[in-house]
Structure 1
């Protein structure tokens, strides 16, 4: 088992899709077209800039476009003040960093907004482009840090839930078949897979016992026809493809085109050098796996092997 660890990590690293860094989204809101255009031109090189001429229109933009890293809003606007608009964005987009452009006469409104956490910074008019760029740069860094911490917490909770499910299955399942479905669901949800199948292997062939998770129910099990599964069982090593349509060995396999799967990894579940099961993780988009996910897959594969062994012996 120990000799398979470097190979597992090497293959998983090949499946890691390095996403090109995209421009962060920014929303600028001002009822004066000239000011709105100036804000757009100031930041268009570094951001994907969205524009709105009122707070109401800005809320509509957010409803369509989703979360943005930074919002810059004028305070004095008809129908809705900037601080009122920004306060409405807090519940749905708590990590977004909000900056307000204002005159000195609006300080009282700003103090309340800043104290309540709705505004990160205010810039007085007329604003200096270099100063505003500096504020936005720091705001973007703050946003990225908040998103990183939020994602780390989400991952930690998801990973804990996955390990907890495996432990619970080990404690409660009286038959090996009973353990397959909850484990498949836990893996599929943790790795945001479109499909996950955990299927037993007997005498180096797939057994009929299986557990299936699918975002789009019902899901068809075509693992018996998949060349990756055969290789994983024969070689006792993880197999996969990050880009199935471009893979000459898989492009002609009919179940990939019919299911829309673009990325697929097969993890052999091994105990004492014997393949007990295979775990199939399937995505309809390019696969992306982080370093912590690599370690988690290895750890959980070992735990699943123990679960299957203990339930078989029960």
Structure 2
């Protein structure tokens, strides 16, 4: 399936078909089987619920499963108290929301855990199911907000680094060819592509190229997606690719004043999704690449003369 993405229109298409959002993961920890099953049944419709009967088992489970949005842990458990277990999850999973269940008043432990940021909320036993659901829902929303802000910061830093790399290449390049490899590397790393290729075009013919990532070369000249990108001078996306070893292919024409100077091809082994702002970044970055190539050619001509 191929989609043409006009350069200056709002970009909203993605590289893969939209799937239903996956359930957020949560971990419930309690040494009492009845309580553990009750917690599981309470949240299984809204979350992918993992169960552990002890803090030690829970830590092992987290090492295998990775980060979860919410942890609910009983406080009084053999071998390891709930607050101790939760504190040990903080270094590896700082964004996870932690909720403690307590059937007694252990003020010192709870206050220390809450003040140190190890516990988001504590619930006393026996708990009210509606209250617990409301607390978990707020905790999950807080987790998603934290992850969103972290991702926005990472994305902003990554975008700045990409544009800075292109500008740096334009300023330091001694020839057009010397600009290609750092540009391919910058785009490949920024968009986590398995293969990124930039191919120069002069007088309508493919010339020099550079590749970052997976071994082997992509036959750009034979790609119908590349031909369409050049003909339309617009970004092209494919979710069903000509190369069976890749699950997604994106081609960005590098143009200046109506002339295609190069094509930038990004490929992923598995279906991927790019947000609208990432596609817009690709378009803006391609314009910077066009300027870098033009500056390099001008500098080469000046030196030759």
Please say whether Structure 1 and Structure 2 have the same fold, judged by a TM-score greater than 0.5: yes
TM superposition shift of 1:222 = 1.9
Q: Verify: 1:309 aligned to 2:304, yes or no.
A: no
Q: How does 1:143-292 map to 2 (within 5 A)?
A: 143-207=143-207, 209-214=208-213, 216=214, 218-244=215-241, 250=242, 256-257=243-244, 260-292=245-277
* Conservation of the 8 A alpha-carbon contact between 2:14 and 2:274: no
Higher relative contact order, chain-length normalized (CA < 8 Å, sep 6+): 2
Please tell me whether the aligned partners of residues 75 and 101 of structure 1 are also in contact (alpha carbons under 8 angstroms).
yes
1:299 aligns with 2:284: yes
The TM-score normalised by the length of structure 1 is: 0.90
Runs of 4+ off more than 6 Å? none
SS of match in other structure, 1:285: coil
1:212 offset after TM fit, Å?
A: 1.1
Question: How far off its partner does 1:81 sit?
Answer: 0.8
Instruction: Find the residue that maps to 1:189 and give its secondary structure.
Output: helix
Structure 1 position 5, deviation (Å): 8.1
CA RMSD of aligned residues (A): 1.7
6-15 vs 111-120, greater mean Cα deviation: 6-15
Counterpart Cα distance in 2 of 1:228 and 1:6: 14
| Residues 204 and 234, structure 1, Cα contact 8 Å, conserved in 2 | no
What is the alpha-carbon distance in structure 2 between the residues aligned to residue 133 and residue 37 of structure 1?
15
Pairwise mapping of residues 15-94 of structure 1 onto structure 2 (< 5 A)?
A: 15=15, 17-94=17-94
Whether contact under 8 Å (1:9, 1:294) holds in the other structure is no
CA contact (8 A) 1:184 1:213 kept: yes
Counterpart for residue 302 of structure 2:
none
The structure with the greater share of residues assigned to helix is 1
Aligned-pair CA distance for 1:298: 1.2
Output one character per residue of 1:218-261: Cα deviation in whole Å (capped at 9) or x when no partner.
332321221211222233222221233xxxxx4xxxxx12xx10
Cα distance per residue 1:174-220 (max 9 Å; x no partner): 1111111111111111112111101101222211x212111x4x332
SS at match of 2:71: strand
Mapped partners of 1:269, 1:234: distance in 2 = 12
Relative to structure 1, the CA distance from residue 153 to residue 19 in structure 2 (aligned partners, 3 Å threshold; closer, same or farther) is farther
Give 1:10 deviation, angstroms.
Answer: 6.6
- In structure 2, the CA distance between the partners of 1:290 and 1:134, relative to structure 1 (3 Å rule), is same
Does residue 103 of the first structure (1) align with residue 107 of the second (2)? no
Paired with 1:107 and 1:222, the residues of 2 have a C-alpha distance of 67
Which residue number corresponds to residue 135 of structure 2?
135
Q: How many residue pairs get matched?
A: 296
Bigger mean CA deviation after superposition, 115-124 or 197-206: 197-206
Q: 1:286, CA displacement in angstroms?
A: 1.5
Long gaps (5+) in structure 2: 300-305
